[in-house]
Amino acid sequence: MTVWRAGLAKPASSRRRPGRTAAVLLGLALGLAPASAQSPDTPTSDLGARFKQKIDDILRHANTTADAARLTPLLEPEINAYLRFQGAAQLPEGLSDPTIRIADDGRVMVDAVIDLDTIREQQTRTWFDPLQYLGGRMPVAASGTVSAANGAAQIQIERITISGVPMPVQVLQELVGYYTRTPDNPGGTQLDQPIPLPYGISELRLAPGEAVVVQ
């Protein structure tokens, strides 16, 4: 999950929403291990800072012109390190521990822990609604394919599970809609519709372990 969502305005409610650089959001704690023993993929504050700098560059490029396309590679370890360190305070209330994995063929997998009580209480539930029976903080995993060109992204959801139990795609849509809603767009992002790319981004080139931003 992009999750995949950045640059969202704060809604009318008092709940926090993601900051511009918090991406629909892992690693091994090696606080006592020497630096030389750490894997290059171990999330560290330095990796998160590197991602933050790249996001700042993307935002700066949005207001400038260039003779050629500008490519900014966002590496999976950097993304997850940022979500764990610098971006943790910007995550919306009820969502924690997000991690993102980028595989081949444009497949993206997102894991997070979500407080389902917060979402379930937003509306009256029917007997056939899975969220009627789920509550508390539970692990949510989603996977799908992402293609992004000509200034818009298209997401094809493959699977969503809550605590390992498969759920209808509509459940993921409700989760995404809740966390991406704004006063101007109270329904939030619709996963079955093209999603405009912000900041002058024309394309995302996905490869295992990285997403290259094209501006």
Residues 6 or more apart whose Cβ sits within 8 Å of residue 80: 26, 27, 43, 99, 100
Residue 69 has pLDDT above 70, yes or no: yes
Q: How confident is the model at residue 40 (pLDDT cuts 50, 70, 90)?
A: low
Q: 133's torsion region: left (phi>0), alpha (psi -120 to 50) or beta?
A: alpha
Residue 3 has pLDDT above 70, yes or no: no
CB 180 within 8 A of CB 188: yes
Residue labelled with tokens 């949005």: 62
Instruction: Write out pLDDT tens, residues 146-202.
Output: 999 999 999 999 999 999 999 999 999 999 999 999 999 999 999 999 999 999 999
Instruction: Write out pLDDT tens, residues 81-136.
Output: 999 999 999 999 999 999 999 999 999 999 999 999 989 988 888 899 999 999 99
Residue 18 has pLDDT above 50, yes or no: no
pTM above 0.85, yes or no: no
In this structure, what are the phi and psi dihedrals at residue 95, rounded to the nearest 5 degrees? -125, 130
pLDDT score for 6: 34
pLDDT score for 34: 33
Tokens of 137: 């903080």
